[in-house]
């Protein structure tokens, strides 16, 4: 290799080193900043190829996606002075990379600051409610309050808090027994109340059914009497018309009634064959 070619290779190598120190790449899931002597300069860098001053400036990138953080359990007191062991699950993301770098610098410090802020707000929020309210009905309202207030406070670190949830709630053993006893007493009281209300409702329904039954029977008896009266009247009318049509039928009927009364039982009657009483047997 000639001396001239050696110089050319040296210049080309130096140019490649300078060029590599002048460019940096930010991926689609990242955001970046440029540092000059350890201090951020310029604005946040969007995904793409960017340039900086070689050897003087450096680049650092952060994850721009929504990140998840599981906190360690901590003890919190409720309004009725009951201790709770709870942890939380949060989602967050970097919205201001420059502020994020100046204040917390890295993810470990950021999650530590998240823990401090979220637990502080949980203590404030849970301290306004009793343990029973927290367990049974107030949790959504409490978490909404904690999320809003924590997000407001964490913004100064260039972070947006997307969501906060209480993942698990444990009670010390003595609290669990006391709570269980109160919940059991409350359930028994509700069960007794429901049974009493059920019995009262059953008595009302039975009373109404008895009243309806009595009304139906009375109405049926009234209709029966009306029909019976109408039937008797119709029978009397038909019988009267039959007598008018055939007087012999009346005589025949009266004779049958006389036979029935006279010949009933062991009565003995002596009559001549030509007796008028026996004329219907001839």
User: What are the pLDDT digits (tens) for 165-214?
Assistant: 988 877 766 666 777 788 889 899 999 999 999 999 999 999 999 999 99
- Three-class HEC string of the chain: CCHHHHHHHHHHHHHHHHHHHHEEEECCCEEEEEEECCEEEEEEECCEEEECCCCCEEEEEEECCCEEEECCCEEEECCCCCEEEEEEEEEEEECCHHHHHHHCCCHHHHHHHHHHHHHHHHHHHHCCCCHHHHHHCCHHHHHHHHHHHHHHHHHHHCEEEEEEEEEEEECCHHHHHHHHHHHHHHHHHHHHHHHHHHHHHHHHHHHHHHHHHHHHHHHHHHHHHHHHHHHHHHHHHHHHHHHHHCHHHHHHHHHHHHHHHHCCCCCCCCCCCCCHHHHHHC
* Per-residue pLDDT reduced to its tens digit, 95-136: 999 999 999 989 999 999 999 999 999 999 988 888 778 877
* Per-residue pLDDT reduced to its tens digit, 1-39: 577 778 888 888 888 888 888 889 999 999 999 999 888
Does this model's pTM top 0.75? My answer is no
């Amino acid at each position: 290799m000639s001396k001239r070619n050696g110089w050319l290779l040296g210049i080309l190598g130096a140019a490649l080193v300078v060029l590599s120190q002048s460019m940096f790449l930010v991926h689609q899931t990242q955001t970046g900043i440029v540092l000059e002597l350890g201090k951020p300069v310029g604005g946040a860098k969007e995904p793409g190829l960017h340039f900086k001053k070689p050897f003087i400036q450096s680049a650092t990138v952060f994850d721009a996606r929504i990140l998840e953080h599981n906190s360690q359990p901590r003890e919190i007191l409720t309004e009725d002075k009951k201790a709770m062991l709870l942890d939380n699950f949060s989602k967050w993301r970097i919205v201001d990379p420059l502020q994020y770098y100046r204040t917390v610098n890295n993810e470990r410090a950021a999650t530590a600051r998240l823990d401090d802020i979220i637990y502080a707000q949980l203590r404030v929020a849970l301290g306004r409610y009793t343990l029973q309210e927290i367990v049974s009905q107030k949790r959504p309202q409490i978490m909404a309050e904690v999320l809003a207030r924590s997000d407001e406070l964490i913004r100064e670190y260039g972070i947006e808090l997307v969501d906060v949830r209480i993942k698990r709630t444990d009670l010390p053993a003595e609290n669990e027994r006391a709570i269980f006893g109160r919940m059991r007493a409350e359930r028994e009281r509700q069960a007794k109340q429901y049974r009493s209300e059920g019995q009262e409702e059953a008595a009302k329904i039975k009373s109404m059914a008895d009243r309806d039954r009595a009304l139906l029977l009375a109405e049926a008896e009234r209709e029966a009497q009306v029909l019976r009266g109408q039937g008797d009247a119709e029978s009397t009318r038909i019988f009267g018309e039959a007598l008018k049509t055939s007087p012999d039928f009346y005589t025949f009927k009266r004779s049958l009634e006389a036979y029935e009364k006279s010949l009933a039982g062991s009565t003995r009657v002596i009559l001549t064959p030509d007796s008028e009483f026996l004329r219907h047997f001839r």
